[in-house]
Amino acid sequence: MTLASHIDARPDGRRRVLAGVWRLVDPKISLASIASLTLGTLAAARDGALAYGWLAVTVVAILAIEAAKNASGDIIDFDSGVDLDIRPEERSPFSGGKRVIVDGLLTRRDTAIVAAATYAAGIAGGVAIALLREPRVWLPGLVGVACAFFYHTPPLRLSYRGFGEIAVAACYGPLVACGAYLVQRGSVQGPVIPLSILLGVLIAAFLCVNEFPDRRADAAAAKRTLVVRLGAHRAGTAFAWLETMPFVALAALPLLGAPLGVLAGLAGVWPARRATRALPRAGDDVARIIPAQVDALRAFALFALGAGLGLLLLP
């Protein structure tokens, strides 16, 4: 059955389809895109008036590409056996995959339809921006779509070949934040560049902590995440460095000429500290890893919001 036939079916069928699409959109994970968009937009607002219509197109396009990545990734993770191998006790709200196929919310074909539709919507938004607003958005747009599609999909399979964390840091940091700034200002300059790099590292740290509950199933499916490659102990040390160093670098930015307002991003230090303390104590207990996941999410969100508002409102 196709997605359309599911929607036309009885109410419980419609509810399953809507639940599956909502799970692929996954607002809590979309906070990574939203945080980066927020940082780029607030930095742009510091330097001039915002074009709110084009901001809306940018937001919709990026969120559509993220949903498309989730959908195409769910197909690959189902086919590779990763999703099938995740045990109930290994799942958390932030890991274990979207599992819309495994849980019977969508068929494989339905998920492919959602992926195609959302990729099309995101690409259409990017083309509109490039043709009617800012032609230089072509390159970051193409890179973003390619990273989203090939994050799971052959032949690159970035997340399976050990490049997932690098792709996430690059895309959710400078690509999205500086892309949002570019759409508004027509060029990229100023503190948004170093801030977006540091934000990307924090989002990669969030991905890293989310890989801990999945490491057994990922290893069995030859998915070479950072945690699989390093092992739990060394990956925990890597997570602590990824979670800590952006705040150390942020504190130094005013010495390099950045506005003092960026220091408001240090609001994320406290949840980052809690995350780095909680993870080593959690061991293999997923219930105890979840607080570290939540605090890692809070850390990058507060970094982006604090630094962005600090740029806009403070000297």
Please state the pTM of the whole predicted model: 0.93
Q: How far apart are the first and last CA of the chain?
A: 58
Which alpha helices (DSSP H) does the chain contain, by range?
A: 3-7, 11-25, 27-46, 52-80, 82-85, 108-132, 138-150, 164-170, 176-185, 192-211, 215-220, 226-230, 232-252, 269-282, 286-313
Q: What is the largest CA-CA distance in the chain?
A: 63
pLDDT, residue 3, reads: 55
Burial of 15 (0-12, 13-18, 19+ CB in 10 A): exposed
| 176-185 helix and 52-80 helix, angle to the nearest 10 degrees | 160
CATH of the domain at 215: 1.10.600
- Output the six-digit token pair for 103: 């849980």
Query: Exposed, middle or buried by CB within 10 Å (0-12, 13-18, 19+), for 229?
Result: middle
Q: Quote the pLDDT of residue 28.
A: 82
Q: What is the domain extent for residue 121?
A: 3-313
Residue type (1 letter), 255: L
Q: What is the mean pLDDT of each run of 10 residues along the chain (315 residues)?
A: 48 82 88 96 97 98 96 94 90 90 94 97 98 96 96 95 96 97 96 98 97 94 95 96 98 96 98 97 93 97 98 90
pLDDT at 1: 46
The predicted structure's pLDDT at residue 8? 46
